[in-house]
Amino acid sequence: MATLTDKKRAKTQSIGRPAAELIFGDLWAFDPAPETADPKLKARYDLFIGGKFVAPAAGKYFDSINPANETKLAEIAHAGVADVDAAFVAAQKAFVTWGKMPGKERAKHIYRIARLLQDRAREFAVAETMDGGKPIKESRDFDVPMAAAHFFYHAGWADKLDYVAPGRKVAPLGVVGQVIPWNFPLLMMAWKLAPALAMGNCVVIKPAETTSITALKLGEILQDAGLPAGVVNIVSGFGDTGAAVMNHPIAAKVAFTGSTEVGKIIMRSLAGTEKKMTMELGGKAANIIFDDAPLDQAVEGIVNGIFFNQGHVCCAGSRLLVQESVADQVLAKLKQRIKVLRVGDPLDKNTDLGAINSKEQLGTIQRLVAAGVKEGATLFQPECKLPAKGYYFRPTVFSDVAMSHRIAREEIFGPVLSVLTFRTLEEAVEKANNTAYGLSAGVWTDKGSRILKMSTELKAGVVWANTYNKFDPTSPFGGYKESGFGREGGRQGLLDYCKLI
């Protein structure tokens, strides 16, 4: 610990900080606390087709980079049209038996996947953090356990499908094509695979190009779980691979999670076909603080809402709507709070904000933040030191934001919060709903009746009350408007993977 020099003491006192406020990394520094579990990475990852790891037909590979230090982690196979085709053929063949297997037998496989993932939890958490940049405390305490929880939950459903749609029988759709994004790579695999498998479907899935490692490591678990060959096929690659998966004639249904822009491309290309679709797209959620809210708890909720996973969250609370009478107070508390967030090495157990997932995404964030400054919003960033190598961005809060600003309208997908104010409940609803998106929202108030009114009036698939970013496999998640359609999780999520007979 550094000693408090006179200069620093004078600085501390001159800005009137409460005596108890400690600024870590300024007067204090944490010792490094790196997670040391072995992620067991291979130098090269092949495609997982028909129960085996196979090289791509065209022999193409691309590099997966650790965004925390810009080093190469592994080579990943780039699946072409022929590989995607082979994956669908394998899935179609597997469906003949998997689709008819009694639910209690399918359940055993899915339970085994969940348990094997728990066995290798630490290894997967480290691999996830190295590949994607998220803090180890999140991959260890959220991503991996939540992925296992999704497999457990859906395993429980597999032999109870007679009760999923009361009064109706259900049947699987066949082969499902799925494409997932880079913000929760393993968890999105679990969200997509578990309900599809529980219902008796077979799958061809494509992970995002910057984060394929844990998806392909899950292939090892599927093998160890004895999942019949071809039930799940994993084809890594870029947008071209994703398009081949979405457009494949064998796919009875496609499920996509990613940007609204790509979602629209997929919907245009599939218009007029018989394929069922689920789309989970972008968001620009309002996190709404009323003046009777417990403000200290609300500040924690605001921080969790926008800085969880560096803000790479489609349901992030990226627009803070705060009632005018408490706006100055909330902003002051928020600034004080984000000064103690630790930004840096994602593998350090004390890190709150890790690395931005890719150079491209860092560029997008920088461009939108520059637009915010240019349009006249007031920027606040704490003075934290960033590592010299890697892609990092300081937690950022914009005040004096107008609804017309780009930072209030466009999804930034980074640690950037736009603060707006309101006077009445009606104004809060009007502003919150004045967006092309409709994925999520947060409401902070002491009044139960106000929570009920707000959750009815907000056009958002999920409304959190006095909390934010809470997830559970039993709870359906999905959007309205340009945030997409269909639900994932819960009974509703299962219904999106079956036909009613």
| Residues involved in catalysis | 280, 314
| Cβ-Cβ contacts under 8 Å for 7 (sequence gap 6 or more) | none
Residue 133 binds ligand ADP (CB under 6 A): no
Q: Which is nearer to ligand ADP, 53 or 62 (CB)?
A: 62
Residue 198 binds ligand ADP (CB under 6 A): no
Tell the burial category of 261 from Cβ atoms under 10 Å away from its Cβ (0-12, 13-18, 19+).
Answer: exposed
Using CB under 6 A, which of 147, 213, 246, 327 touches ligand ADP?
246
Residue 344 binds ligand ADP (CB under 6 A): no
List the x/- string, 264-303, binding to ligand ADP by CB under 6 A: -xx-------------------------------------
DSSP class per residue in 391-448: -----EEEES--TTSHHHHS---SSEEEEEEESSHHHHHHHHH-SS--SEEEEE-S-H
Using CB under 6 A, which of 259, 336, 466, 475 touches ligand ADP?
259
Query: Angle formed by the axes of helices 103-119 and 185-199, to 10°?
Result: 160
8 Å CB contact between 418 and 377: yes
Which residue in the shown chain puts its C-beta closest to ligand ADP? 242
Binding segment for ligand ADP (CB under 6 A), chosen from 112-120, 237-245, 468-476, 485-493, is 237-245
Least distance to ligand ADP from the beta carbon of 259, Å?
Answer: 3
Local structure of 453: helix, strand or coil: helix
Residue 65 binds ligand ADP (CB under 6 A): no
Q: Which is nearer to ligand ADP, 234 or 298 (CB)?
A: 234
CA gap 492, 6 in Å, rounded: 62
Residue 238 binds ligand ADP (CB under 6 A): yes
* Single-letter code of the amino acid located at 419: V
Residue 239 binds ligand ADP (CB under 6 A): yes
CA gap 451, 473 in Å, rounded: 23
Q: Which is nearer to ligand ADP, 301 or 486 (CB)?
A: 486
Q: Which is nearer to ligand ADP, 77 or 243 (CB)?
A: 243
Run of H or E including 66: strand 61-66
Residue 202 binds ligand ADP (CB under 6 A): no
CA gap 395, 417 in Å, rounded: 8
Q: Which is nearer to ligand ADP, 358 or 445 (CB)?
A: 358
CA gap 273, 96 in Å, rounded: 23
Binding segment for ligand ADP (CB under 6 A), chosen from 4-12, 258-266, 295-303, 436-444, is 258-266
CA gap 50, 431 in Å, rounded: 50
Residue 47 binds ligand ADP (CB under 6 A): no
Binding segment for ligand ADP (CB under 6 A), chosen from 49-57, 227-235, 242-250, 322-330, is 242-250
Give the footprint of ligand ADP on residues 4-43 (CB under 6 A).
none
Least distance to ligand ADP from the beta carbon of 15, Å?
Answer: 39
Size of the site for ligand ADP (CB under 6 A): 16
Least distance to ligand ADP from the beta carbon of 265, Å?
Answer: 5
DSSP class per residue in 159-222: T-GGGTSTT--EEE-SEEEEE--SSSHHHHHHHHHHHHHHHT-EEEEE--TT--HHHHHHHHHH
Binding segment for ligand ADP (CB under 6 A), chosen from 175-183, 319-327, 375-383, 385-393, is 175-183
Local structure of 460: helix, strand or coil: coil
Residue 209 binds ligand ADP (CB under 6 A): yes
Least distance to ligand ADP from the beta carbon of 448, Å?
Answer: 36
Residue 414 binds ligand ADP (CB under 6 A): no
Local structure of 76: helix, strand or coil: strand
And the tokens for 450?
């106000």
8 Å CB contact between 497 and 196: yes
Using CB under 6 A, which of 109, 192, 206, 284 touches ligand ADP?
206
Q: Which residues bind ligand ADP (CB under 6 A)?
A: 179-181, 206, 208-209, 238-239, 242-243, 246, 258-259, 262, 265-266
